[in-house]
Amino acid sequence: MQKKAPFSTYIVALALFLAGIGYLAWSGFTVGRIPFVNVAEVLRAPAGAMDRAKLFGSVSGQGLNIRPDGLGAHFLLVDKDNADLKLWVDYRGALPDTFQEGAEVIVEGSLRPAAFNAISLITKCPSKYEKANRRDNT
């Protein structure tokens, strides 16, 4: 004859399940709260306002320093609308193959006194992948 699990076991299991679902829902809502800004907005923001942000712009060739092992770069990010506005970005991690001078990038991280410390870096696909520039094989 098998023993039945006590009723409290089911209550604890249900509570753990609901806690897990609640955590996933909460973390899903907080991820979407990271602001998406450009260089001009970061430079105008008061100190401490950019604790976490996604920043976009173009990689400047001026001061571009890619680590010899290819696992990081220190570079100037140029504002999309005003080329005079630039911000230093420090990124440690694997660089995409399309990372180069002039590439449009999105970096996520936080603003520190010396630079924007990026924890992720994504490059926009080059124009050769856009429909207008593809050959039609039909």
| Burial zone of 87 (CB within 10 Å; 0-12 exposed, 13-18 middle, 19+ buried) | buried
| Burial zone of 123 (CB within 10 Å; 0-12 exposed, 13-18 middle, 19+ buried) | middle
pLDDT for residue 17: 92
Whether pTM > 0.75 for this model: the answer is: no
- Over the chain (138 residues), the average pLDDT of each successive run of 10 is 74 90 78 75 75 86 83 88 88 86 88 84 69 50
What distance in Å separates the CA atoms of residue 29 and residue 110, rounded to the nearest whole number?
19
Tell the CATH topology of 36-125: OB fold (Dihydrolipoamide Acetyltransferase, E2P) (2.40.50)
pLDDT for residue 95: 87
pLDDT for residue 138: 46
Q: What ranges do the domains of the chain cover? A: 36-125
pLDDT for residue 127: 59
Residue with tokens 């230093």: 88
In tens, the pLDDT along 49-68 reads 677 888 888 888 888 888 88
pLDDT for residue 123: 87
Tokens, residue 84: 């005079």
